[in-house]
């Protein structure tokens, strides 16, 4: 099961990367169009090229969504099966002392988080990380000094995160 999850994750990550690359090429295509980069007299060349890029982008978005939510469904099923196995293997004393309503309330809240909130949060985080990475890469290509600054800021943030996580674990 782990290898299947890794494969699904790689496919999902790859679909995010391809979609982001397609978006960047589409944005560049418009600038090439306005500057007549390819020296074509016909506007049809740029229209058809942009149409192909937009159709490719739509197909990539659909595949990205399908692959991500399939990945989320498989992960959710795995977590549900594990949680149900633990509940069913619980001691009889626990079920005698704990009201069934309390067990169902906690279980249903956890299922909602795993099924609804967690996949959306992960998907948005992944999309924004892709946008951030491509922005940093594109700006660093044009301004190499920016890459040095971002590297420095990244190191500082990692150090602060390590200290912050250590501090929060001591509080618990």
Whole-number pLDDT of residue 164: 86
pLDDT by residue for the chain (172 residues), tens only, comes to 455 578 888 888 898 899 999 999 998 999 898 888 988 878 889 999 999 999 999 999 999 889 888 888 888 888 888 888 887 887 888 778 888 888 788 878 888 888 888 888 888 888 898 899 888 998 999 999 999 999 999 999 999 998 888 777 765 5
Q: CA 114, CA 121: separation in Å to the nearest integer?
A: 10
Whole-number pLDDT of residue 1: 47
- Asked if 54 and 29 count as a contact pair (C-beta separation under 8 A), the reply is no
Q: CA 145, CA 64: separation in Å to the nearest integer?
A: 34
Whole-number pLDDT of residue 51: 94
Q: CA 165, CA 128: separation in Å to the nearest integer?
A: 23
The model's pTM: 0.71
CA distances for 58 relative to 20, 148, 166, angstroms: 12, 35, 43
* Sign of the C-alpha dihedral computed for residues 72, 73, 78 and 79 taken in this order: positive
Whole-number pLDDT of residue 151: 93
Whole-number pLDDT of residue 2: 55
Query: How do residues 85-128 score in pLDDT, each as one tens digit?
Result: 887 887 888 778 888 888 788 878 888 888 888 888 888 888 89
115 CB-side CA count, 13 A: 8
* Other residues' Cβ atoms within 10 Å of the Cβ of residue 68: 22
What are the tokens at 15?
């679909």
b/e 24-59 (16+ beta carbons within 10 angstroms → b): eebeebeeebeeeeeeeeeeeebeebeeebeeebee
């Amino acid at each position: 099961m782990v290898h299947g999850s890794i494969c699904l994750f790689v496919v999902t990550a790859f679909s995010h990367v391809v979609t982001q690359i397609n978006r960047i090429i589409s944005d560049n295509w418009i600038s090439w169009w306005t500057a007549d980069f390819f020296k074509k007299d016909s506007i049809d060349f740029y229209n058809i090229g942009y149409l192909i890029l937009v159709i490719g982008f739509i197909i990539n978005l659909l595949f990205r969504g399908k692959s991500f939510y399939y990945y989320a469904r498989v992960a959710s099923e795995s977590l549900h099966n594990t949680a149900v196995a633990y509940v069913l293997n619980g001691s009889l004393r626990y079920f005698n002392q704990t009201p069934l309503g309390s067990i169902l309330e906690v279980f249903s809240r956890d299922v909602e988080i795993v099924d609804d909130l967690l996949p959306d949060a992960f998907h948005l985080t992944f999309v924004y990380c892709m946008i951030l990475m491509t922005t940093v890469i594109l700006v660093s290509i044009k301004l190499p000094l920016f890459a040095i600054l971002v590297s420095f800021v990244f190191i500082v943030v990692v150090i602060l995160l390590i200290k912050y996580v250590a501090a929060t674990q001591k509080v618990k």
